[in-house]
Amino acid sequence: MSAASPGRRGPRGPSARLLARLTAIVVALAPLPAAAQDLGWSIENELSGSLFFGNTRQTLFTGRTAVARADSAYELKGSVRFTYGESSNEDDGAYVSKRSWLGSLNYDHRPLARWSTFLISTLETSLEKRIDFRYDFGFGEKLTFVRTATTRADISVAILGERTYLPQPVLDATENLLRWSGRARYQRQMNDRVRVSHETAYRPVVDDFGRFTLRSTTSVAIQLASFANLNVSFLDNYDSEARRRGARSNNDGQLVLGLLTSF
């Protein structure tokens, strides 16, 4: 009887299929290789700004500090960003156009695995988006599908409880929402001196996807020294409810140039 006859089980029989499934599960759960800079303590500080002049004058300053601790069991990261901007034109004269704080705290369980569970919390105040104070807390699952010496890419999904204190007397004092959160991140070391990174976070209200926030950051870092980089960043924040709260626009974009140090 030939190997292809029904009386014998070839390499695609039930045992082979079961072995293939078990192998796929083991590979999916196995930790990904980590670069040396992924482990231990790390600190980043960034100072950036931009200046426009002419018929409309605008100055912008932003500062960011991030501290992280990572090993094979967990990763804990906290960051704070402050933004301040002034504008002037013939109609309005000089005025403060931007003043905001954004803080975040992330706990990632088994960060070197392909699949990892995480906790996330953010705090925010924003003059330009008319937010007196906003905080949220949630949990989710992250899939890291690329982690090499030069490239990292992951996607994640989470659910968040959010509470916002709004300006009065235009709106009610507080607003409580439940949001989904979808996030995609990509980072690549192009060569010995240039690193490119991108992150997009989309957060719609659970029962109304027309109400959402979208935060996107794209950066190019050019190494000047072992610990210092020239950093060019484009930040774009969209809040579908900002104009309803009295903001000039739902969208807020920034292109800044600055110095990034890491230790």
What pLDDT shows up at residue 171?
A: 56
Helix (H, G, I), strand (E, B) or coil at 16: helix
Q: Where does the pLDDT of residue 246 fall: very low under 50, low under 70, confident under 90, or very high at 90 and above?
A: confident
What pLDDT shows up at residue 19?
A: 58
Q: Where does the pLDDT of residue 23 fall: very low under 50, low under 70, confident under 90, or very high at 90 and above?
A: low
Q: Where does the pLDDT of residue 1 fall: very low under 50, low under 70, confident under 90, or very high at 90 and above?
A: very low
What pLDDT shows up at residue 7?
A: 47
For residue range 70-123, list pLDDT tens digits in order: 998 999 999 999 999 998 877 767 889 899 999 999 999 999 999 999 999 999
Whether the pLDDT of residue 219 is over 80: the answer is yes
What pLDDT shows up at residue 21?
A: 61
Helix boundaries (H) for 74-166: none
Mean pLDDT of 2-6: 46
CB environment 193-227: b (16+ within 10 A), e (fewer): eebebbebbbbbbeeeeebbbbbbbbbbbebeeee
**Separation of alpha carbons 3 and 16, rounded Å:** 15
Stated pTM of the model: 0.81
What pLDDT shows up at residue 95?
A: 85
Whether the pLDDT of residue 67 is over 60: the answer is yes
What pLDDT shows up at residue 9?
A: 45
Contacts 24+ apart (CB under 8 A), 70-73: 70/38, 70/39, 70/40, 70/42, 70/108, 70/111, 71/39, 71/40, 72/31, 72/34, 72/39, 72/110, 72/111, 72/112, 73/109, 73/110
Spatial CA neighbour of 194 closest among 172, 216, 224: 224
